[in-house]
A and B are shown apart, each in its own frame.
Chain A
């Protein structure tokens, strides 16, 4: 079994395609939608966690790319800038999935990319703009 988290960017003409359904039915994958958004100009963005056999996973991702969807591994999409972070811990209790942790002895904040679901809550609220999303 393999598992990946990816960001899918859909051009306008693909927004109405039932891609998650095809990943499940045709490629035998489990799909968990972490975040979905259609912007005013109707491009779509979907953050999903996909698991299944390694081979099926690769084929599924190839299918997405072939029909014109940009597939980016989630971990590459968020950037925690340690030189900007002051370790105030403000983000810690606001992150819905606990991607930020505090070493309570020294009160320093660490960020676990693997847990991040790209909800962008921290990007908005960090007083020091220490978390950036790169598109």
Chain B
């Protein structure tokens, strides 16, 4: 019998809901079979934790006396420049922002020890952060400069607002050139000596709901240790890519845009990241509950690492020059084993996404639902699906 989200929520409120993680459901299928599970299980929790560059946070600092208009001026948090092109006391800090005096890659490879992602980690850790402002002054906002310590507990709003997170599948990176390269997929040794990947595979939210049947605009989620929401599909959302017969994309596809109250979050699930020779970013922990409304939705959540394929891409040539060439396909079971075989060559693998953290998050979200602290949501609107024709297009340059 198909279930509805409100029926599941009633069971959650009564403490009767049956909740398992996307890892546990796989074993449960072996034990009980699909027909039985669809009746018994209400929710499957999915999760991911990894560097997600399209992340950031906005803050309302509160007014000074006399007032200052940060909007249109310049501002820094711990020397990291923030976006000021909004109202007087609102600022946005992006995860990849760097201090003006960071040497970047001038001495290659740069270390990128501190940036926007680290400021966000420091704020959620409860540390004081130095705000420095220079403004142009107006009749209503006469003050021109401000230098003060701020703390997340004292400012008005602090909201994590990430335009693209939780990629549905991702490339496996290798380097076919003769020299070491430093990429957002990490250090890649020459002649395909190592490979890196970045997905939680069988635990990943959008790989457990590959056709966006339950995840959509408005979905309530675990975000950075607190509660957040999917506010839109993410940038570069690309649902029309090649898929397996079970609908699972064979390359990067859908994405989520998410937001949530930063004050509820914690550094266990929001961490500043330094990618040697590349830059800084923020690692974000996300957990998404999938309501088991019918057998079809259940079947999607039974996906295993060995059934999810990722393309192997050369980051010395094919990726930077947008050539679209793929050296082969490998599955996540092999990626997680520590070695893969590409074109007859055995290659050591490393993750960038933490499967251990993803397991932890899926477990926490399960616990929240079991305790009645987290209710499921019906999306307000669906995402563009695989047959919508919606796609990620390259830029056509014009003059």
Known A92-B350, A102-B338; judge A125-B356 contact (CB<8 A): no
A95→B359 CA distance, assembly (Å) = 25
Q: Which of B82-90, B132-140, B271-279, B308-316 contacts A (4 or more CB under 8 A)?
A: B271-279
Quote the shortest CB–CB distance from A12 to chain B (angstroms): 25
In contact, A93 and B348 (Cβ under 8 angstroms) = yes
Least CB distance from A89 to B in Å reads 4
* Contacts A86-B354, A106-B359, A107-B336 given; does A93 touch B349 at CB 8 Å: yes
Interface string of B334-365 (1 = CB under 8 A from A): 00111000000000111111111101000000
Q: Once the chains are docked, how many angstroms separate the CA of A89 from the CA of B356?
A: 10
- Which B residues lie within 8 Å of A124 (CB)? 111, 276
Q: Indicate if the CB atoms of B359 and A127 lie closer than 8 Å.
A: no
Instruction: Please state if B354 and A107 are interface contacts (CB–CB under 8 Å).
Output: yes
Interface majority SS (helix, strand, loop, mixed), chain B: strand
- A125 engages B276 (CB within 8 Å): yes
**Are A88 and B338 interface neighbours, CB within 8 A?**
no
Residue of A nearest to B273 (CB): A127
Q: Is the CB of B51 within 8 A of A127?
A: yes
B350:A128 contact, CB within 8 angstroms: no
Quick check: is B283 within 8 A (CB to CB) of the other chain? Answer: yes
**CB of B216 closer than 8 Å to a CB of A:** no
CB nearest neighbor in A for B280: A127
**Pair A125/B186 contact, Cβ less than 8 Å:** yes
Task: Let me know if A87 is at the binding interface, CB within 8 A.
Answer: yes
Task: For chain A, give the interface size range.
Answer: 20 to 34
Q: Is residue A91 contacting chain B, with contact meaning CB distance below 8 A?
A: yes
User: Contact between B283 and A104 (Cβ–Cβ < 8 Å)?
Assistant: no
Residue pair A106, B271 in contact (C-beta under 8 Å): no
Residues of B within 8 A of A106 (CB): 356, 359
Q: Which of A87, A90, A91, A128 has the most CB of B within 10 A?
A: A90
Give CA–CA (A104, B186) in the complex, Å.
21
Total B residues in contact with A, Cβ cutoff 8 Å: 30
Interface presence of B253 (CB below 8 A): no
Residues of B contacting A115 in the complex (Cβ-Cβ under 8 angstroms)? none
Q: Using Cβ atoms and an 8 Å threshold, which residues of chain A touch B356?
A: 86-87, 106-109
Least Cβ–Cβ distance between B272 and chain A, in angstroms = 8
Q: Judging by beta carbons under 8 Å apart, are B194 and A104 in contact?
A: no
From A109, A127, A129, give the contact of B352 (CB < 8 A): A127
Is B186 in contact with A129, judged by CB distance below 8 angstroms? no
CB pair B350 A86 closer than 8 Å = no
Give complex CA distance A71, B196 in Å: 38
Q: Write out, one digit per residue, whether chain A residues 42-71 have a CB within 8 A of any chain B CB (1) or not (0).
A: 000000000000000000000000000000
Least Cβ distance of A120 to chain B in Å?
A: 12
Interface flag for B254 (CB, 8 Å) = no
| Beta-carbon contacts under 8 Å, A94-121 to B | 94, 102, 104, 106-109
**B49 at the A interface (CB under 8 A):** yes
Asked whether, in the complex, the Cβ of A90 is within 8 Å of the Cβ of B186, the reply is yes
Residues from chain B with Cβ under 8 Å of A89 in the complex: 350-351, 354-355
C-alpha gap A41/B336 in the complex (Å): 44
Q: How far is the CA of A94 from the CA of B338 in the complex (A)?
A: 11
Residues of B within 8 A of A87 (CB): 354-357
Considering residues A88, A90, A92, A93, which has the most beta carbons from chain B within 10 angstroms of its beta carbon?
Answer: A88
B50 interface residue per 8 A CB criterion? yes
With beta carbons under 8 angstroms apart, the residue of B271, B338, B351 that contacts A90 is B351
Q: In the complex, how many angstroms separate the beta carbon of B332 from the nearest chain A beta carbon?
A: 11
Q: Give residues 156-189 of B contacting A (CB, 8 Å).
A: 186-187
Closest to A87 in B: B356
Q: How far is the CA of A102 from the CA of B349 in the complex (A)?
A: 12
CB distance from B131 to the nearest CB of A (A): 24
Question: Which B residues lie within 8 Å of A91 (CB)?
Answer: 350
User: Which residues from A are CB-within-8-Å of B272?
Assistant: 128
13 contacts between A and B (CB under 8 A): A86-B283, A86-B354, A89-B351, A92-B350, A93-B194, A93-B349, A94-B187, A94-B194, A106-B356, A107-B336, A124-B111, A124-B276, A125-B276
Q: Which 8 A-B pairs rank lowest in CB-CB distance, beginning with the nearest?
A: A87-B356, A93-B348, A107-B355, A93-B350, A89-B351, A127-B273, A88-B354, A86-B354
